[in-house]
Amino acid sequence: MRSGRFERALAVADWQATPGNRSPLVLAITLPPIGDTLVLETDNGDNPAISLAAATAVHPVTRLLFKTDPTELALYYGNPRTHAARYDVALVAPQILSAEKHVATLGPEEKARVEGWARSALQGARGGVLFWSMLALVVVALLVVVARLLPKPPAPP
């Protein structure tokens, strides 16, 4: 193990290809991959090296269960700065597993805005110094008015 990386064989197969029979090699990976890189190694023995034109890897998601209201949803992915969500699924597992199942399909992929949700939510808050100082003055004035309207505590005897 070097710098957090290690090799693990996910599948092994024998493949024979002749000029008349060029069947594709299909590897059934039974172990879940840990990282985001798959390496295909070939041992050609005494034969010349083979040239691979393309490789395709398919890793299916067996199921994705979630509970939601019947509204339109958005699935965001690909932000390396975010952390994986952590939920205690055991709390809602009976409800999720007993709920009526519906097949959901994804629409066409859309490119997300570069800025985050906070920037888009505060986009209209671009006032100058005068705006923010006037707003602070109004807030202070309202707090003074509310303080005067509150009942005074009785004087001690």
Residue 67 lies in a domain: no
Residue 136 lies in a domain: yes
Residue 141 lies in a domain: yes
What's the rounded Cα separation, in Å, for the pair 30 and 10? 7
Position 105, amino acid = T
Residue 91 lies in a domain: no
What's the rounded Cα separation, in Å, for the pair 138 and 142? 6
Domain count, the chain: 1
Residue 145 lies in a domain: yes
In this prediction, the residues of the chain whose per-residue pLDDT falls under 50 are 1
Question: What is the H or E stretch that residue 96 is in?
Answer: helix 89-98
Angle at 52 between CA 47 and CA 57, to 5 degrees: 125
Residue 86 lies in a domain: no
The partner residues of 20 in beta bridges, in order of sequence, read none
What is the residue range of 134's domain? 118-149
